[in-house]
Amino acid sequence: MTAAPDGAGTEAKALREAFGTFATGVTIVTVGGAMPHGMTANSFSSVSLDPPLVLVCVDRTAVMHGVLGAAEHFGVSVLAGDQEGVARHFATRRRGLGASQFESVDWWPGPLTGVPLISGALASLECELWRGYDGGDHTIFVGRVTALRRGAGADALLFHGGKLRRMAPLISEVRT
């Protein structure tokens, strides 16, 4: 890999900036049990409809890496446009393990697995950890969706260009 020809800086910085041009949704990945934990993640994607699979990529140095790797189940809450505060809350590395991480956040236990799911999310998924794959400095965790709930919101929270942004409708309906 070579640095950008415009002198954008180091290879890692140029790569980060290039990846940042791709807008992604923002999720909170959670694990329940005796030491619940949550983490903001934008490296989330659907993988398959049959079987229903999703993936999330977690940095090997993140607290969530060890917690998720040892879990049987995890949750994914797809954040609505008005949930920037929730995204920032779970993005802070200073927050540790345990129920205290969830004290200031409105959440509910998933009906099938009990994993914490964020109230007001556009969608909430309960997943069974299916596989983990080496992804360089990250692990790609694949989960089989075992339960889901679609929320009522329409606007999504996005991550683009290193910033959280609220998705606005691009085209409004015109009535004649």
Residue range 16-46, pLDDT digits in tens: 778 766 667 899 999 998 889 999 998 999 9
Q: What is the model's pLDDT at position 57? A: 95
Is 162 a residue whose pLDDT tops 60?
Answer: yes
Segment 148-161 shows an average pLDDT of 82
Q: What are phi and psi of 87, to 5 degrees?
A: -60, -45
Say yes or no to pLDDT of 153 above 90: no
**pLDDT-derived band of residue 169, with 50, 70 and 90 as boundaries?**
low
- Residue 47 has a pLDDT of 96
Higher pLDDT, residue 4 or 70: 70
Report the pLDDT value the prediction gives residue 159, as an integer from 0 to 100: 73
Q: How far is CA 157 from CA 34, 81, 134, in A?
A: 30, 4, 28
* Overall fold of domain 24-160: Pnp Oxidase; Chain A (2.30.110)
At residue 2 the predicted structure's pLDDT band, cuts being 50, 70 and 90, is very low
Q: Shortest CA distance to 166 belongs to which of 84, 107, 60, 78?
A: 84
Annotated domain spans of the chain = 24-160
